[in-house]
Structure 1
Amino acid sequence: MYKLSFVSTLILILFLSVSCRDNYVLNDAGSDASTDRTELTKINWNEFDFYPTSTTGQVIRHNFYALSYHEEHEQAEWVAYELKSSYSSKYDYKRPYFIEDPKVKTGSADWRNYKNSGYDKGHLCPAGDMKFSKQAYNETFYTSNISPQKADFNAGVWNRLEQKVRYWADKYDGLYVITGGILDANLKTIGEEDVSVPDYFYKILFDVSNDKPRIIAFLVPHKNSDRPLYEFVVSVDELEELTGIDFFHHLPNEIENQIEKNADYKSWSFN
């Protein structure tokens, strides 16, 4: 039998090692990266269902956003919508009155719960994100889309984050946005209907430009802060533990698991 010399054997091993590495690339999670790319090509991002699960079973779909209403806390546990770059608008519509959401079967909280409470009626889906049409703008004034927020928080760090979201939507040609308060037990309440006052608010952004999905999530304490926004970045996994919500359950499991554990903000422009 023909025997390979030691040098020839070493060369053969090195050749096979390089060949295997070129044809089989492992990602950080240890899965086949080519499989991830194959899965991504199967997803039609224009028709992707980005709505999270609901812990309450009461999902309301309006024309330009959806929400999951939590009757016990008299507000949405999440609000979700697509913010396209084409939505940028400087239309200055007249602010309508807040009204109860006609689609909430259990009845959304009356705006009078907020009167003299010391808290603003804080939009979850911001009116400023829906200025591309009067109908879209007016829909944000349902009381199902608001949560009690301190005035300096609403006009301060939370407003900074909302403006940054609009900046990213323009820069990255659109985003999926999910936002809400952390609805724990034993929260402070306001009004006759006991509207809960969250101690934290969260916001999740999902970017699918160039078929390369990435996520950034924020968990912001309910108080004003001058800290840079990137200091509030957390993983989606952390938010799922706090809320009991599965945010991107329509994604293939390998992709969902990989991007939801990531809390890296360096690929997002904070300048």
Structure 2
Amino acid sequence: MKNTKLVALLLVVLNGFLFSFCKKDVGRGNSKLYNEDKNYHLNKYKNPVDSFDNRSLSMGEDFDFLPSSSGGQVVKHQYYTLSYNEVHEQAEWVAYELKKSYVKNNDFKRPFFIADAKVTTGSADWRNYKNTNYDKGHLCPAGDMEFALDAYNDTFFTSNISPQVRNFNNGVWNRLEQKVRYWAVKYDGVYVVTGGVLESSLLTIGKEKVSVPKVFYKILVANSGDNLRMIGFLVPNLESNAPLYSFVVSVDYIEKMTGIDFFPQLNDKIENQLEKNNDYKNWSFN
């Protein structure tokens, strides 16, 4: 009888010890999981912009952050995509990724502009620009595509040009294009959307009545580390020596002027936060 009681007592003590040990171990495990989960959520939601997936800016085959298209003629070339507006005989937007590795200075020879066979309604002929005061202004610049000859040549489709005042094209617009290449190197690549503001009653040139935009826009998104940044420019199609930062506007404002939703696939909270900002201090203008 005494032995039975002793065994029972030992079993009680042993069970208590095992229960205490398991509880302590499980508690440690739960605490670890909780802390990891807590840190994950704190890091993820401390700033909705900081939580933006780096892969979202990679313009691979699955890239789907293209702007909305009013005309529905979205044309994809190897290194850039455009939305052709038949009424104005030019692209309403051209979108592309300018990687850091793309920024090169090769001595490629300038080819002739040719029609874009991918535009089903036919892109405007380059002869519309003859005997006018306007340049055949690139939207996706040839200078952004000098990393490969085929990429460079692809910028000479007439779907990728718009009438630009000569001193605008060679002046302030060229300065902005050079600054974009500078930022592509500094921020390890940028995503670019650009075009003319196409509206009714614009001056036209040539037999096909190619519209002459009064203003051009350029929107940039950079994802450098954990810092996602966006900036918009609205530049009159005129000669100007003004500093580039004086043309900075919010992307919201450009959307109102153009009627284009530039980032329809972005999370609404992130999109709204980025697009309402017109502060250029996050960008280096030195």
TM-score grouping bracket, smaller chain normalisation: 0.7 to 0.9
Aligned to 1:34: 46
CA contact (8 A) 2:215 2:236 kept: yes
Structure-to-structure mapping, 1:50-129, within 5 angstroms: 50-129=65-144
Matched residue type, 1:36: P
Deviation at 1:211, TM superposition (A): 3.5
Q: How far apart in 2 are the matches of 1:73 and 1:37?
A: 36
CA distance change for structure 1 residues 34 and 42 in 2, over 3 Å: closer, same or farther?
Answer: farther
CA distance change for structure 1 residues 200 and 212 in 2, over 3 Å: closer, same or farther?
Answer: same
% identical aligned pairs? 64
CA contact (8 A) 2:96 2:191 kept: yes
Aligned: 1:234 with 2:249? yes
Aligned: 1:131 with 2:146? yes
Aligned: 1:210 with 2:225? yes
Matched residue type, 2:48: D
Compare CA radii of gyration and give the structure with the larger one.
2
Q: How far apart in 2 are the matches of 1:152 and 1:44?
A: 36
CA contact (8 A) 1:50 1:176 kept: no
Q: How far apart in 1 are the matches of 2:96 and 2:49?
A: 26
CA distance change for structure 1 residues 42 and 224 in 2, over 3 Å: closer, same or farther?
Answer: closer
SS at match of 1:206: strand
CA distance change for structure 1 residues 45 and 61 in 2, over 3 Å: closer, same or farther?
Answer: same
Give the TM-score taking structure 1 as reference length. 0.86
CA distance change for structure 1 residues 167 and 37 in 2, over 3 Å: closer, same or farther?
Answer: closer
Runs of 4+ more than 6 Å apart: none
Q: How far apart in 1 are the matches of 2:81 and 2:53?
A: 26
| Number of residue equivalences | 244
CA distance change for structure 1 residues 188 and 86 in 2, over 3 Å: closer, same or farther?
Answer: same
